[in-house]
Amino acid sequence: MRLAGKVAIVTGGGSGFGEGIVRKFVEEGASVVLMDRDEAAASRVAGEAGDKVRPIAGDVSTLESFVAAAELARSAFGGLDILVNNAGVAQPPLPLETMDEGLFDHIANVNMRSIYNGARAVVPHFKSNKAGAILNVASTGGVSPRPNLTWYNASKGWAIAATRAMAVELAPFGIRVNAINPVAGDTPLLSTFIGSGEENRARVVATIPIGRLSTPQDMGNAAAFLCSDEASMITGVDLNVDGGKCI
C-alpha cells in the first residue's frame, strides 16, 4: 500500500473531491484527520471509512482549526506526514466588476488563506521531521481560465504559484509541495459553476477530450501518488487531472 503508516490531514473531506481523497488514502493504508466545516458530513465519511479516520469540525480560514487538526493527528495517530489542502469554494458566473466584496473575501479566505494557514500549522512539524508532503487542490481554471469566473480562477492561479514557491523554499528540509488541477467534476460544487440541467452538463463535457467529468476517485488516485514515497523526486508540480482539457 502506497501510504502505509502515513498520517494525513485532508480539508473539505466530507464530500466531493475531498471525500474521494480520504477514501483512497485509507485504502492505501493512511490514517486521516478529516477536517470539514460540515460536522455531519465529516462524521458520515469517517463512520463509513472506519477507525483510521477521525473527523474534526474546522474553518480553513482560521489558523486555530489547522492547529487543532494537527494536534488530533498527533494524539490519535502518533504523528503527521501529509497535508491536503482540498477545501474550496466556487463562484457563480458573473462579470468580474460585479462581484461584491463579501463573496470575493470568502473566495480568498477559503481558496488562498487556507494554504497559508495550513503551512503555518504543519511546516514547523515537517521541518523537525525533515520530511513531509503538502498537496494543494487547485483547478484547471488557474491554468486555462474561463470568462466570468475571474476571481475564482485567480484564486486557483494563486494556489499554483504558492505551490511552486513553497516547493522551492521547503525542498532543502525534505518537504515536497505539489498541486492537482481538477477539471469540472461530479461534485456538489458543479451547479455553482454551470447551473443545473443536462444541457449545461453536456456543454461542459464536450470541452473535455476524454469525454466525461472528473470524479472524486480520479482526484484520490492522483493525490495518493503525489503524496506517496513513489513521488519522492516530484515537487513543485501542478498536475492537470483534466481528461485533456488544458492541452
Sign of torsion over alpha carbons 116, 18, 145, 225 = positive
Q: Strands 31-36 and 7-11, how do they pair?
A: parallel
DSSP 73-112: HHHHHS---EEEE----------GGG--HHHHHHHHIIII
The Cα 30–Cα 35 span in angstroms is: 15
Q: Given 25, 66, 77, 152, which residue is catalytic? A: 152
Cα–Cα distance for residue pair 151/44, rounded to 1 Å: 32
Neighbours of 63 (CB within 10 A): 14
Q: How far is CA 48 from CA 22, 25, 41, 43, 199, in A?
A: 11, 14, 11, 9, 34
**Contact indicator for 110, 87 with CB cutoff of 8 Å:** yes
Residue 112 is placed in which grid cell? 488562498
Q: Is 116 a catalytic residue?
A: no
Q: Which residues are catalytic?
A: 152
